[in-house]
Structure 1
Amino acid sequence: MSNSTHPVDEVLPAPRLAALGIQHVLVMYAGAIAVPLIIGRALKLDPEQVAFLISADLFVCGVVTIIQSFGATQWFGIKLPVMMGVTFAAVGPMVAMANANQGPDGARMIFGAIIGAGIVALLIAPLVSRMLRFFPPVVTGTIIVVIGASLMRIGINWIFGNPFGPTAPKLVSPEHAEWLKTVTEMAAATGSTIPPLPEKLGLAASVSNPAYAPLTNIGISAVVLVSILAIARFGKGFVANIAVLLGIVIGGVLTASLGMMHFDKVASAGWFELVTPLRFGMPIFEPILIITMVLVMIVVMIESTGMFLALGDMTGKKVTQPMLSAGLRTDGLGTIIGGLFNTFPYTSFSQNVGLVGVTGVKSRFVCVAGGVILIILGLVPKMGALVEALPTFVLGGAGLVMFGMVAATGIRILANVDFKTNRNNLFVVAVSIGFGMIPLVAPDFKMWMPHNLHPLIESGILLASVSAVVLNAFFNGTKENEAEVREAAMASEA
């Protein structure tokens, strides 16, 4: 390496680049596949379609990672060692959209909202750094806690089963259903004296469902969880960093050996297939849904700003205003590409930023190599089919860790907030977390509100974000402190 070459710009030998690139991919892999699994199943898509979402996600992860790390003109790419992946912050709003509009049409509405939000994010990227004053650690920490708490519901449902549909805890008794059918037929008979049944009369579910929370599923989830904790405790270096992925692999091997995981779809999937844009048809652009995703993107870009500033400190390369704008523009561009290629909003993955500190390797070309590997994985349909074949209860044990770590990251950021001399910060956190819990505890709270408002208010993440920003401005004002944002990001990577 020449004396004039900064470590960030050092091009390592190809074998080392490949090995370190694989390391970065393995660290982010479990987080990268989680979101397409969550959204695909929330949309009630076919297994083949969910597998395609996973492949598309890996492909776009690779493309956006290369743009961010290598750079594409002066306008895009921060040119630091950054791995890009789907943000968990968007999961809550997207699940709400999926629950309201299932199937391919629901997917088209989600992708339309994502593309629209990406365009807005691209345009406002230079302004976001000026919004740091509205997002000090007391705000970002609170938002991340609520994101983690909201996601925990998904991980818990992966273990036990969804509270509705085929895995609901209670089912309608077959005897009751037969009785209602008989009475309905008698009431419809000519000359019957039985009054007609009231419109929309239904039977309450009263019989325990054996498909909900079977002990075998709980046991396998527990094995995955214990495996992750044991690897994290006793594993060293890189092995400890991929504890979640190794736990999922152990769970997959266990379920396969018990005959509970089937590989028919994996066998029938091809070895190579291009990821085609607009697979589900033209996106549907709903203004309210776009506004919802724009609010998410603002939070994501503020988080990215902290990550970039922290990464600049770790690598010894000062992040200038043009660099920061180029990095945030790439968040917007990546989100547009995601919507076009049937996937989701993108941001820098904090666990990979942490890996830079662990390995001490600062070269951005390591992440470029990781991006190439992700593209290759995305072009192999068997990889997506293999992930889709994993039973949800295997992912449940890992979900407790992945989503719980999101909440724990928020708590760690809040640990550096001054609660002793500024008691008003307690009000900001307390009330905002309370707002964030409303949709989790009382999902029908919006039933009498205008329907157009539902997408905006049915996500606890957005409610908590608005509450935290407004209350912080009310109690603490809006003074800018870049050092605080950098410190919060460093805390989240530790």
Structure 2
Amino acid sequence: MSSVPNPSASDPDSPKQTLHYKIEESPKRFSETLFYAWQHTMVDISPFVIPLAVASAVGMSVSGRADLINACLFTMGIATILQTTIGNRLPIIQGCSAMVTGVIAPVAGQIGLAAVWGGVWIASILQTIVGALGWLSPLKKLFPPVVIGTVIICIALSLGQVATRLAVGSGHWSNFAFATTVILFVLILQLRFQKLFGGLLARGAILLSILLVGLVGGSLSGQMDWSPVREASWFAIPKLFPYGGPGFGWEWIPTAIFAVTIGFIGSIVESLGDYAATCAASDEPLQKRHINRGIMAEGAGSFIASLFGGLPCTSYTQNIGVIAATGVASRRVVQVAALILALYGLCPKFGTLLVSLPRSVLGGVFLLVCAMIAISGIRVLAQSTSEIRHAYTIGLTVLCSLLLPIRLEALPDATASWPLIVRLLVTSNVVLAIIFAVGLNAFFNLLDTRKKSSRSNERELAES
């Protein structure tokens, strides 16, 4: 999912800055290319925190969380190279999909990672086929802005529950202090130092705050455990099939496949808007090949991610802001950024360092990420009309998708006899949000169609 907009970067919808380098152009010096590429890696921080939702759902150890983050970073680089080379060839970063992760986390918590990654494998193949054959029109009709925006807000609120648990922890005052401090650091860097060093501090505010507050504060308070970091190696290729594979561990559970596929569908539709925004920021006309080849490449990237135990990939909007702010839309720059991200993923010590930071620091940053996801949803909703049916769609979807699972989880005896697919659907916030939003929108459209048909018949009778 176009996961987390960067508030410090320029809005791509604002008046365009003159491009210094267009998509097929490259900076003359490699040092300049490397600098711009590194800026992209500073902004695209979602892989550091979004996997924590899955890790928390299944109770992963420190080493397990580190392996998951490294796998996500490594496959993020591979998927970006794939997208920018043989996909839509736009300067857009690929990374962990918040929408699909919002589905995966509760499913993994109930039936395990083997079933989830089997579902990801199937869903990624289906996405690749849909993109290759150009079967996207029906999806766009099912997911207008009112549906997509509402679902994105529900994702933010769902993941926000995980972020809050990490930030608050046991309720000790130090947890609140760490979470508050890292949030304030990010806000100060993004709002007070927007122009310093060409905006570099503002764009890298989240990563800088994680490392500064987490490393310094965690070390001084004794909450930073350095032993796993010392034991981790400097270089290692992520393991193939860490949670099993086709024919040797993956579970083919239709319920998991169905739930994950629903998340993929929502992510596909959201990516269509990302391609349009990237083209607008890059002064490139949006063409059909951008859409079809882009969705195909995202599916292929998610397929590769499933092999290494990484989360499914989608297009990110953060680097669109970097393009608008720097005037550098070079595809080569993004390809170098992809190589840097892949190198991050090849360093277990880096991933272990991130997960060894105080959880309240990661939770505070995760809350900010969820806030940015919610803002993204609100911006999408702004594209829809202010009709009463849209208000009902938004209100009912948000309330039912968040409150129904809470109530049903408090009634384990009543739901124990329900079929697995029903239990998963009614206890997953994101799946419920997609079902409610799509269903209500279709219902109101049907009412409008019948109303228009009735008026047309009345006119014909009056004229006859």
- TM-score, normalised relative to structure 2: 0.85
Question: Is 2:77–2:342's contact at 8 Å kept on the other side of the alignment?
Answer: yes
What does 1:449-460 correspond to in 2, within 5 Å? Answer: 449-460=418-429
Distance 2:285 2:365 in 1: 36
Query: Would you say 1:417 and 2:380 are equivalent positions?
Result: no
Distance 1:37 1:433 in 2: 23
Task: Point out the structure with max Rg over C-alpha.
Answer: 1
How many residue pairs are counted as aligned between the two chains?
413
Query: Shift in Å at residue 465 of structure 1?
Result: 1.3
Distance 1:26 1:452 in 2: 40
For 1:254, the aligned partner's letter is G
Among residues 174, 189, 201, which one is paired with 1:231 in the alignment?
Answer: 189
Distance 2:425 2:129 in 1: 22
Per the alignment, residue 91 of structure 1 pairs with: 101
Question: Is 1:231–1:239's contact at 8 Å kept on the other side of the alignment?
Answer: yes
Query: Shift in Å at residue 68 of structure 1?
Result: 0.7
Question: Is 1:140–1:410's contact at 8 Å kept on the other side of the alignment?
Answer: yes
Among residues 42, 48, 73, which one is paired with 1:58 in the alignment?
Answer: 73
Query: Shift in Å at residue 130 of structure 1?
Result: 4.2
Among residues 149, 157, 160, which one is paired with 1:149 in the alignment?
Answer: 157
CA 1:223/1:6 → structure 2, altered by over 3 Å: closer, same or farther? Answer: closer
What does 1:137-176 correspond to in 2, within 5 Å? Answer: 137-161=145-169
Query: Shift in Å at residue 443 of structure 1?
Result: 4.3
CA 1:303/1:375 → structure 2, altered by over 3 Å: closer, same or farther? Answer: same
What is the SS of the residue equivalent to 1:318? coil
Per the alignment, residue 33 of structure 2 pairs with: 17
What is the SS of the residue equivalent to 1:7? coil
What does 1:184-195 correspond to in 2, within 5 Å? Answer: none
For 2:207, the aligned partner's letter is L
For 2:368, the aligned partner's letter is V
Q: Per-residue CA shift, 1:382-418, capped at 9, x if unaligned?
A: 1111011112111121122111111122122223422
CA 1:134/1:66 → structure 2, altered by over 3 Å: closer, same or farther? Answer: same
Per the alignment, residue 289 of structure 1 pairs with: 256
Which structure 1 segments of 5+ residues have no match?
A: 72-76, 162-211, 480-494
Per the alignment, residue 119 of structure 2 pairs with: 113
What is the SS of the residue equivalent to 2:176? helix
For 2:289, the aligned partner's letter is P
RMSD: 2.0
Question: Is 1:93–1:458's contact at 8 Å kept on the other side of the alignment?
Answer: no
Question: Is 2:210–2:365's contact at 8 Å kept on the other side of the alignment?
Answer: yes
Per the alignment, residue 301 of structure 1 pairs with: 268
Q: Per-residue CA shift, 1:103-148, capped at 9, x if unaligned?
A: xxx2222211111111111112221244212222111111111111
For 1:86, the aligned partner's letter is C
Query: Shift in Å at residue 433 of structure 1?
Result: 1.3
Query: Shift in Å at residue 373 of structure 1?
Result: 0.4
Per the alignment, residue 475 of structure 1 pairs with: 444
Query: Shift in Å at residue 439 of structure 1?
Result: 4.4
Among residues 407, 414, 422, which one is paired with 1:442 in the alignment?
Answer: 407
What is the SS of the residue equivalent to 1:475? helix
Q: Per-residue CA shift, 1:323-371, capped at 9, x if unaligned?
A: 2111001111111111111111110111112221121111111110010
* Greater Cα offset, 404-413 or 294-303: 404-413
Distance 2:100 2:219 in 1: 32
Per the alignment, residue 306 of structure 2 pairs with: 339
* Greater Cα offset, 451-460 or 404-413: 451-460
Query: Shift in Å at residue 477 of structure 1?
Result: 5.9
Query: Shift in Å at residue 468 of structure 1?
Result: 1.4
Per the alignment, residue 435 of structure 2 pairs with: 466
CA 1:19/1:139 → structure 2, altered by over 3 Å: closer, same or farther? Answer: same
Distance 1:271 1:226 in 2: 32
Q: Per-residue CA shift, 1:184-228, capped at 9, x if unaligned?
A: xxxxxxxxxxxxxxxxxxxxxxxxxxxx20011111111111111
Question: Is 1:150–1:440's contact at 8 Å kept on the other side of the alignment?
Answer: no
* Greater Cα offset, 434-443 or 348-357: 434-443
CA 1:38/1:470 → structure 2, altered by over 3 Å: closer, same or farther? Answer: closer
Distance 1:322 1:353 in 2: 19
For 1:151, the aligned partner's letter is L
Distance 2:200 2:138 in 1: 37
For 1:449, the aligned partner's letter is W
Distance 2:24 2:408 in 1: 49
For 2:203, the aligned partner's letter is N
Per the alignment, residue 198 of structure 1 pairs with: none
Distance 1:334 1:370 in 2: 16
Query: Would you say 1:245 and 2:207 are equivalent positions?
Result: yes
For 1:53, the aligned partner's letter is L
Query: Would you say 1:427 and 2:392 are equivalent positions?
Result: yes
Query: Would you say 1:351 and 2:300 are equivalent positions?
Result: no
Q: Per-residue CA shift, 1:57-84, capped at 9, x if unaligned?
A: 110000001111122xxxxx11000101
Among residues 233, 238, 253, which one is paired with 1:275 in the alignment?
Answer: 238
Which structure 2 segments of 5+ residues have no match?
A: 1-19, 449-464
For 1:99, the aligned partner's letter is G
Question: Is 1:70–1:365's contact at 8 Å kept on the other side of the alignment?
Answer: no
For 1:429, the aligned partner's letter is I
Query: Would you say 1:363 and 2:373 are equivalent positions?
Result: no
- TM-score, normalised relative to structure 1: 0.80
